[in-house]
Structure 1
């Protein structure tokens, strides 16, 4: 009798589990909203995760996989990642239209906000995001960011970097640590009110952790936007979490030092202005506060967002630019010839020279197009059920812009896999930037540091080519233009030689 009871109990449990599975499967197939974009089949509960993970482990980048799907299902297609609907946008028109739609401008909840325990400007949504973005842009402009007057600060840092390059006397070196330090110093001068020497151990460690995290987020930054993936056995986040904790500690120390020496009559940098706003909010009731969302909760996250956005992507673009110049010496010579003709050899380039540096600008744009530093951009989320391209985008769905697909669309770019800066020159030899070149994304959530990055790229790149010729080290393997996936698409480590020009 006990044996029979045990068997009955076992059968009951198995029956219940089977019923649960059947209900979930039925809900998966019949509980979905109608008229969703087309897309590949996915498993109940886990969706397309196995297929995506399998391809990533084979070395296929997500942006390439999504281009494959787009060829089959169209430029707007849908995936299911666990319980999330993901709509991938694969051409310029769909990205532009979606990211200009007021109901498609939210940000999904991401791993960084959870780890930082702070919601910064890049990750906020709704009224909070509008206020934080407006405040950040206003303060950055007040310190000259994006204005011609700011070029002296950028130029000073570029000259410091060239001193470091000159110290190698033409011998091979890894440019990435120098580039990230220099570019970071530009934004640090605005946010922190100081720059850091290249020998500063704490700052070097901070930048190293920042770069490591970019890789740890996985190809295309998948783990950043799909935090549940971190529970998969081969995607441990222990190192990621320890790095974030150390970065937060560094930023909090900087903020606390500002707090200790705060002088409301002398607001020298972004942190000072933010502290002033927090004080003003505390002096008023929240309903009457001018910037009610500028709180301690959004402080560290916003500082981290601005610091990261103003460091990694521009440094990586310059790293790619140097690599391409070494691989294409004839194009490097044409850039140098143009700079010499416009600027001469007795001074360094200036922003005033920009209109005449047509080929130089075309080369920068082509590097940005070829390498597309953030291949999948930063996803948006639907604030409500939204009709888009005759499809329904359900509330909470992620919208992922495949910027790589946009930059390599053969319908827009002839020979898209070929490095051809001339594609950005008109018949008169004038530089004309195509609308479809969107390395900073588009719409109201486009990169907050776009104007600063454009100025940095022109000044640093023109300074470099004015002063040096970049070459592959002798007796070394050929330089590879194949990148390495992460949240950003960066070159594999390489050494380069900077030969001083006469």
Structure 2
């Protein structure tokens, strides 16, 4: 029979040994890392740093007092809705003011490196692009995306082939070319008709703008557009927006710690699973219809081109990554990411114009001077409309529609600005902080389009303006987004003057943080010009 005292001593020694190992491992891990709050063994400090850190709370309070956090702008009235609790891009920006432009947090024992100024972001994503172009395997993202597509797929040969094909095929169907102009201008006719139905009454612009942007994507990917009253189409757009919002729900984030939670039959897990199923059914039905009607001599759109390429690839390599399953994830990336980002930017533009009538008037004066009121805009007009272009850029700077970019991962241990970044570290480029940096942008929290113009009123190209990100994983749809934003924005202000209803309270300009930063719900008045 064992001596109970000896057993207790052995257990205590084992516990002390384990504790010593954890502490020594933590010390080794912290050596050379960027500064940051001290992590707890096993659990790290991510949630603690963002929620409980008194320094962060104090910094945030000071920022509010100094009006550095966005609140309602322009016009009269109080804010209609409270700001979102603890939006992560603002909390991380506050931490940067304490720990510096590069700092570290821990999710468990995994380092999370936050890059908060342009130099840090450029050094990592451009100067060391091969090291910082991978994606971390985040359980929630992996469960939904299966780590396929072009947005969340890991960096490597498969991703490079898929992205190269996707980009060249989208260019074939008009990406970055004037051949896509007529489709965008044609879609605006439907937007105009929908807006005119409301006369001088206030209305919700969200569904109209979302439908229009989605249809431009659909014209390239599906060779069709959907009527704004199409029940299935309307449902898909609502599901997309809801899914992006739910995916960052505080309970949903727990899936990254315990993946099995995703399958629980309770809110929000059940809701997100159903959204995933519904969007999957919608897109796979479209792919199946394309397969049934595929004509190798006359490819109609992106799906047809992909299916034909996949058939050719399988003749050469039966293990090729070009499959209908992979096509689904690429189409989902195009449909969801392309629609949500551009539609939110256009909605922000309408909100800012309604709250800044003087800037709106200047844009309209430039439109009349260059285009007039009858001719539709073209991309050729862009070079002669610097204030309009500057206004769009200022909206993008103020709102940074993907404020924390998409996380990267260090594929090997490296040194970044004197700090050791261990292999496997998650990298968060804080694009919000970059675009609100007072060292770069004078009075960064003020809406001031002229900051993008020189003394002669000509557009200034600033390398620090990176709303689409930089590096090897820069947004694939950047050129499409720029085309849509210019042509739609100009068309809207050419035909309407937008006003914020006097009897309504302004929404918080902090917006609603999901994967993208969307404006909070608002109504608007569109007066026909």
Per the TM superposition, whether the score is higher than 0.5 is yes
Specify the alignment match of 1:436 in structure 2: 464
Specify the alignment match of 1:73 in structure 2: 99
* Alignment of 1:375 onto 2:403: yes
- Equivalent of residue 119 in structure 2, options 88, 93, 105: 93
| Structure 1: tracts of 5 or more residues without a match | none
- Please give the alpha-carbon distance, in whole angstroms, between the structure 1 residues aligned to 2:267 and 2:99: 29
SS in 1 for 2:490: helix
Cα 1:311–1:77 shift into 2, 3 Å: same
- 1:377 touches 1:403 (CA, 8 Å); kept in 2? yes
Measured after TM superposition, the shift of residue 149 of structure 1 is: 2.1
Measured after TM superposition, the shift of residue 134 of structure 1 is: 0.7
- 2:185 touches 2:376 (CA, 8 Å); kept in 1? no
Per-residue CA distance 1:365-411 (angstroms, 9 max, x = gap): 00000111111001111111122212221111111100000000000
| Structure 2: tracts of 5 or more residues without a match | 58-82
- Please give the alpha-carbon distance, in whole angstroms, between the structure 2 residues aligned to 1:240 and 1:447: 25
Quote the RMSD (CA, aligned, Å).
2.8
SS in 2 for 1:242: helix
- Please give the alpha-carbon distance, in whole angstroms, between the structure 2 residues aligned to 1:297 and 1:254: 13
- Equivalent of residue 394 in structure 2, options 366, 387, 404: 366
Specify the alignment match of 2:290 in structure 1: 258
- Please give the alpha-carbon distance, in whole angstroms, between the structure 2 residues aligned to 1:475 and 1:15: 69
* Alignment of 1:395 onto 2:423: yes
SS in 1 for 2:486: helix
- 1:113 touches 1:120 (CA, 8 Å); kept in 2? no
SS in 1 for 2:29: coil
Q: TM-score, normalising length from structure 1?
A: 0.91
List aligned pairs for 1:22-421, cutoff 5 A. Answer: 22-23=19-20, 25-32=22-29, 34-52=31-49, 54=51, 59-100=85-126, 101=128, 102-110=130-138, 111-117=140-146, 119-124=148-153, 125-218=155-248, 227-228=256-257, 236-286=268-318, 292-421=320-449
- Please give the alpha-carbon distance, in whole angstroms, between the structure 2 residues aligned to 1:58 and 1:480: 9
Cα 1:451–1:277 shift into 2, 3 Å: same
Measured after TM superposition, the shift of residue 112 of structure 1 is: 3.0
Measured after TM superposition, the shift of residue 459 of structure 1 is: 0.4
- Please give the alpha-carbon distance, in whole angstroms, between the structure 2 residues aligned to 1:32 and 1:42: 11
SS in 2 for 1:32: helix
SS in 2 for 1:310: helix
- Please give the alpha-carbon distance, in whole angstroms, between the structure 1 residues aligned to 2:300 and 2:449: 41
Measured after TM superposition, the shift of residue 362 of structure 1 is: 0.8
- Please give the alpha-carbon distance, in whole angstroms, between the structure 1 residues aligned to 2:214 and 2:484: 11
SS in 2 for 1:199: coil
Aligned length: 493
- 1:213 touches 1:243 (CA, 8 Å); kept in 2? yes
- Please give the alpha-carbon distance, in whole angstroms, between the structure 1 residues aligned to 2:189 and 2:417: 49
Q: TM-score, normalising length from structure 2?
A: 0.87
- 2:84 touches 2:511 (CA, 8 Å); kept in 1? no
- 2:50 touches 2:91 (CA, 8 Å); kept in 1? no
Cα 1:224–1:278 shift into 2, 3 Å: farther
Per-residue CA distance 1:44-82 (angstroms, 9 max, x = gap): 111113325626998222112212222222211111112
Cα 1:75–1:339 shift into 2, 3 Å: same
Measured after TM superposition, the shift of residue 474 of structure 1 is: 3.9
Per-residue CA distance 1:11-45 (angstroms, 9 max, x = gap): 69975884586256325423426312221112111
Specify the alignment match of 2:77 in structure 1: none
* Alignment of 1:487 onto 2:519: no
Cα 1:388–1:276 shift into 2, 3 Å: same
Cα 1:479–1:36 shift into 2, 3 Å: closer
- 1:89 touches 1:402 (CA, 8 Å); kept in 2? yes
- Please give the alpha-carbon distance, in whole angstroms, between the structure 1 residues aligned to 2:121 and 2:252: 22
- 1:24 touches 1:44 (CA, 8 Å); kept in 2? no
- 2:307 touches 2:324 (CA, 8 Å); kept in 1? no
